[in-house]
Chains A and B, each alone.
Chain A
Amino acid sequence: MSGTVLTRPATTVAGRPPSRRRRSSARARRRALPWVLLAPALLVIGVLLLYPLIRVFLLSLQDYGLRNVVSGQSNYIGLGNYAEIFTDAYLWQVALPNTAVFAVATVGGTVVFGTLVALLLRTLGPVARTVVVSCIMVAWAMPAVTGTYVWIWIFDVDRGIVREALTAAGVLGPDGFNWFTERLTFYAIATLNVVHHGFPFVAVTVLAGLLTVPRELYEAAALDGANAWQRFWHVTVPTLRPVFAVVTILSTIWDFKVFAQVYLMPGGAGSNVDVLNLGVWSYVRSFGRQEYGMGSAIAVVLTLMLLAITVVYLRSLFRDEELS
């Protein structure tokens, strides 16, 4: 930059207008500058994100097995993998419903519960708030793998806490019930796990938003005779719409691509075919059967679906001028 600044006055001092070429080169340089500054970050993103993305897409167009991995030879088959996926009843009856219904349940659960916790936090004094925030942070900080094993332990079919409690309450007979083998109960446990792991983020973000809502709005609403629910629905929600949009989109992305929380549950790694979601299905196809092309195609479908959902979400949530 400094070079440009120094040379310019020199030419004008000489009484001649700056040559067009020099001016345009300066402009080109100025235009290049942002890209130069962005280059390191773009390079990192390109290597770590773009290259793998493109590679996965190219793999998804191939019939690629262990032999290809070793020899490095490509084997393009066009859209064959996609045709196979979309004609496979498994996608429509098992993998997709498991992924989508589960995501709806967990996103709903996470956002609602997180918001409730945020509302609670707002009413607390500074000390109590610090204590509660610290506690919920523990849930957030816990790695997904650790958390999943804790939930499996809690729901241990023969000797878990839940089992013992239900047996003591007379709900369960002496044989118990294996909730890991049924699709609905399996995903109910997974939902608990994911909501428990995800709500602190929502709570903290929504709390930050809540603290920015001017008190006068609530006072005015109260004067107009609005009850608590109306104050929440007509004051808090519209004000915090951007915050809700962000946490909903992020939760959707996270919950759609849940992997460890399903894979690590009993039967979730493939032996119970009723409970696989798209992520685990992709993994089992890729690494279990070494059909890397097919696994990649499933991953691409999952990614495209997420992109589509995100776009729709963004459009509907920011339907007003907020987007433009």
Chain B
Amino acid sequence: MARTHVLPVAALVATLSLVATSCGGGEGGGEGATLDVWIMEGTNPDATAYFDEVAAQFTEQTGAEVNVEFVPWADAHEKFVTAMAGGTMPDVAEVGTTWTPEFADAGGLIDLTERAGDTAAYSEGLVEAGTVDGQLYGLPWYAGVRSVVYRTDVFEELDLEEPTTWEELRETAITIAEERDDITAFPVPGDAEYSLMPFVWGAGGEIAVEEGGTWTSGIDSAEAREGISFYTDLALEDGVSSTGATTWKETDVQDNFISGDVAMAISGSWTPTAILEAAPDLEGKIDAFPIPGPEGGYSPSFLGGSHLAMFNGTEDEDLAWEYIQLLTNEDNAARWSEETTYFPGKQDQITPYTESDDPLVQPFALQMAESGKGVPATQNYGKVQGEMVLQTMVQAILNGDASVEEATATAAEDIESILNEGS
């Protein structure tokens, strides 16, 4: 029965908190005003100090106070939705790039196109993800990308090199699987869509493309099928994954990497820090390489990250914009990247990372600069993710419930019906 009540109760709570907190808003102009800001939690352990400092800078600059609230990623989507329903939105918030089109379409965000001006300086993938109908709603803040993290000690022991093509990746994984029984060579997680995407894109497939207002899914194209077959065959034919990985999420991959049970895994640019924090004995034993393309080069990898967005209902748009600019300026962006190991959202700010000699930074920076790619930028893509269409597809193939042809055909049908909904 509890399920029955979630939405209204959430709405009720939101309404009550509206009554309780709606006394904060500023009266325009800096002095005496308070800016409410939501920042996602789970990216940086000591973000408080950073935001205190930025708040001090902001108060000095404008006279206005900043009230930062940290929201855990896992609850954030629901919290945004209930806040939009109850009118308790913050003035400025960090919004995950895949949510921006959805919130913008629902009427929750303010159009930033004019204020942002020329967006050429920003990472292209992030700009694309923040754009709905040609208008920019999310200003690129930071980005993360997935590459392959691996155990150098295993590679050295078996005399392996970083693979540069799919075939080499496969052979490397097979060697590890054959030589080391105690370790999973390269998990093929069934519940992790972003680990699949490089193989779809690398083979030349697309998840979905829009033409003349209609979305067509390319997940059942010959190219995509080839990539998906390669990926799932790693588990089914080559045996380099594990039986349990069929239902693994990315966090399960990471947990198993931390406990020393995984040799290579597709993993985010922010994970090496987390891995080493949880398993200090792996220090010096991990490295990364960009996900190779089928015949060399790099496979495109999902470019995720965060936008800064201004919410409808903010009392002073200029003040809110000033805060956004302050967060994304040279110094603050650099410090944020350094502390979080995420990449800044501006092209020229990435350059130092691609030239970095840190082996746990440079491969990711290369992957991002050379082949970062976004998911279809439409408000409905969030629903495709909500329905877990791609995960369902991969799991069905890994389970043996469906062939690649069948599973991709079903997925394409689902994606098209969801993306073309209401248009």
> A-side interface residues toward B, CB under 8 Å?
47-49, 51-53, 55-56, 59, 65-67, 69-72, 156-159, 175-178, 180-181, 253, 257, 259, 266-267, 269-273, 279, 282-284, 286-290, 292, 295-296, 299-300, 302-303, 306
In the complex, which residues of chain A have a beta carbon less than 8 angstroms from the beta carbon of B8?
A: 51-52, 55-56, 59
Q: Are A292 and B243 in contact (CB under 8 A)?
A: no
Cβ-neighbour of A288 out of B3, B387, B398 (below 8 A)? B387
Cβ-neighbour of A178 out of B4, B84, B244 (below 8 A)? B244
A61 vs B316: C-alpha distance when bound (angstroms): 38
Q: Are B418 and A289 in contact (CB under 8 A)?
A: yes
In the complex, which residues of chain A have a beta carbon less than 8 angstroms from the beta carbon of B102?
A: 66, 290
Whether A266 touches B7, Cβ cut-off 8 Å, given contacts A157-B243, A158-B243, A253-B1, is no
Q: Are B3 and A176 in contact (CB under 8 A)?
A: no
Q: Are A267 and B84 in contact (CB under 8 A)?
A: no
Q: Are B244 and A302 in contact (CB under 8 A)?
A: no
> B-side interface residues toward A, CB under 8 Å?
1-9, 11-12, 77-78, 81, 84-85, 102-103, 105-108, 184, 190-191, 239, 242-249, 252, 256, 261, 382-383, 385-388, 391-392, 395, 398-399, 418, 422
Q: Are B244 and A158 in contact (CB under 8 A)?
A: yes
Cβ-neighbour of A270 out of B2, B382, B388 (below 8 A)? B388
A121 vs B190: C-alpha distance when bound (angstroms): 45
Shortest Cβ distance from A209 into chain B, in angstroms? 26
Q: Are A157 and B244 in contact (CB under 8 A)?
A: yes
- Which residue among A59, A257, A266 has the maximum number of chain B CB atoms within 10 Å of its CB? A266
In the complex, which residues of chain B have a beta carbon less than 8 angstroms from the beta carbon of A72?
A: 85
Which 5 interchain pairs have the tightest Cβ spacing?
A288-B386, A157-B244, A266-B247, A271-B391, A55-B8
A178 vs B246: C-alpha distance when bound (angstroms): 8
A157 vs B248: C-alpha distance when bound (angstroms): 10
Q: Are A270 and B106 in contact (CB under 8 A)?
A: no
In the complex, which residues of chain A have a beta carbon less than 8 angstroms from the beta carbon of B191?
A: 266-267, 271
A316 vs B191: C-alpha distance when bound (angstroms): 45
In the complex, which residues of chain B have a beta carbon less than 8 angstroms from the beta carbon of A270?
A: 386-388, 391-392
In the complex, which residues of chain B have a beta carbon less than 8 angstroms from the beta carbon of A70?
A: 84-85, 106-108
In the complex, which residues of chain A have a beta carbon less than 8 angstroms from the beta carbon of B399?
A: 178, 181
Q: Are A302 and B243 in contact (CB under 8 A)?
A: no
A175 vs B244: C-alpha distance when bound (angstroms): 9
A278 vs B7: C-alpha distance when bound (angstroms): 16
Shortest Cβ distance from B264 into chain A, in angstroms? 16
Q: Are B3 and A282 in contact (CB under 8 A)?
A: yes
Which residue of the partner chain A has the closest CB to B256? Answer: A158
A214 vs B156: C-alpha distance when bound (angstroms): 76
A296 vs B6: C-alpha distance when bound (angstroms): 10
A272 vs B392: C-alpha distance when bound (angstroms): 6
